Amino acid sequence: MRSLADDLAGDVVRRYRIEHDQAVDMVVESFGRSRALVTAVAAADSVEQVKRLRVYRDAATTAKKEIYHHLRRYRPAESSASDAVDRLVALPVSSDERAAAVRAVVANHVSTAERLGELDGFFSQLFDHIGRPDTIVDVGCGVLPLVFPLDDPPVGQLWAVDTDPEAIRAVSAYARGDERVHPVRWDLTEDWPALHARGLPNRVDVALVLKVLPVVARRAPQALDVLARTPADLVVFSGSRTAMAKRQDIERRETGVLRRFLAEHGFTEVGEFRTADEVCLVARPVG
């Protein structure tokens, strides 16, 4: 079974962003769930013989689909991501283990994990473009607020809003005792008044919409209108440069989605920067 999985894993690794050993483990697990394949493997003389069977082709298709869907999740291993948040929740703010717990949460969320290699470069380019904002709203924040620098330059308020309860649980645990950070579970479809009712100022200096707009355009296009009315003087929109699951350059596609949105909603693009995994457009809303 392992050599059969090893063979398919070679294919998977060429197409998807996954290491060979992890791919083999996942294929073995998936194959193991097909009783028909397990029986066929036991009866066969060689890997090549099994590969000619219909039952193998079906099991291979299922395994590839499962890997693809696994890679497309923001939090790759739901249980280990939740465990990491549990640990952060349980630790006192003063604990020596807090930094490691924060790192574990951040490493378990794909969007922030992708940035970890060049986090300083990302933030230094970001602040070059946004200056010294006092109030920021991070729309669809994920767990980025856990690594967001608030001291230099000093940020007065960071509103961290997301529809994902786990993200907000993580930010809330991180922000205990820090009055600058305001985590709120909120969905774009609730619209801005619901957030103003929770205390978001009528207008903020900067809104961050990082790796969010292309997701919303695909999954809930009706909510794009809400993003178009983001109550901020400056908005930073970003998209990914490489696909979450497939080994594929998606910068042109993502930039296309962002620029079409800016044009349709009257934003003026005033800046652009990129890191290895992300392309960011800085824009001023109409008026």
Ligand X SMILES: C[S@@+](CC[C@H](N)C(=O)[O-])C[C@H]1O[C@@H](n2cnc3c(N)ncnc32)[C@H](O)[C@@H]1O
Binding site for ligand X (CB under 6 A): 74, 111-112, 140-142, 144, 162-164, 167, 187-189, 210-212, 215-216, 220, 223
Residue 54 Cβ vs ligand X, minimum distance, rounded to whole Å: 38
**SS3 string of the chain?**
CHHHHHHHHHHHHHHECCCHHHHHHHHHHHHHCCHHHHHHHHHCCCHHHHHCCHHHHHHHHHHHHHHHHHHCCCCCCHHHHHHHHHHHHHCCCCCCCHHHHHHHHHHCCHHHHHHHHHHHHHHHHHHHHHCCCCEEEEECCCCHHHHCCCCCCCCCEEEEEECCHHHHHHHHHHHCCCCCEEEEECCHHHCHHHHHCCCCCCCEEEEEECCCHHHHHHHCHHHHHHHHCCCEEEEEEEEECECCCECCECHHHHHHHHHHHHHHCCCEEEEEEECCCEEEEEEECCC
Residue 162 Cβ vs ligand X, minimum distance, rounded to whole Å: 5
Residue 102 Cβ vs ligand X, minimum distance, rounded to whole Å: 14
CB–CB of 15/247 below 8 Å?
A: yes
CB within 8 Å of 86: residues ≥ 6 apart: none
Residue 141 Cβ vs ligand X, minimum distance, rounded to whole Å: 5
Token pair, residue 68, equals: 């693809």
CA-to-CA distance for 27 and 5, rounded, in angstroms? 5
Residue 78 Cβ vs ligand X, minimum distance, rounded to whole Å: 13
How many whole angstroms from its chain centre is CA 89?
21
Nearer to ligand X, 9 or 126 (CB): 126
Residue 12 Cβ vs ligand X, minimum distance, rounded to whole Å: 23
Nearer to ligand X, 51 or 70 (CB): 70
Nearer to ligand X, 112 or 125 (CB): 112
CB–CB of 237/262 below 8 Å?
A: yes
Nearer to ligand X, 142 or 285 (CB): 142
Residue 115 Cβ vs ligand X, minimum distance, rounded to whole Å: 7
Nearer to ligand X, 27 or 167 (CB): 167
Nearer to ligand X, 28 or 150 (CB): 150
Residue 209 Cβ vs ligand X, minimum distance, rounded to whole Å: 8
Nearer to ligand X, 71 or 188 (CB): 188
Nearer to ligand X, 67 or 144 (CB): 144
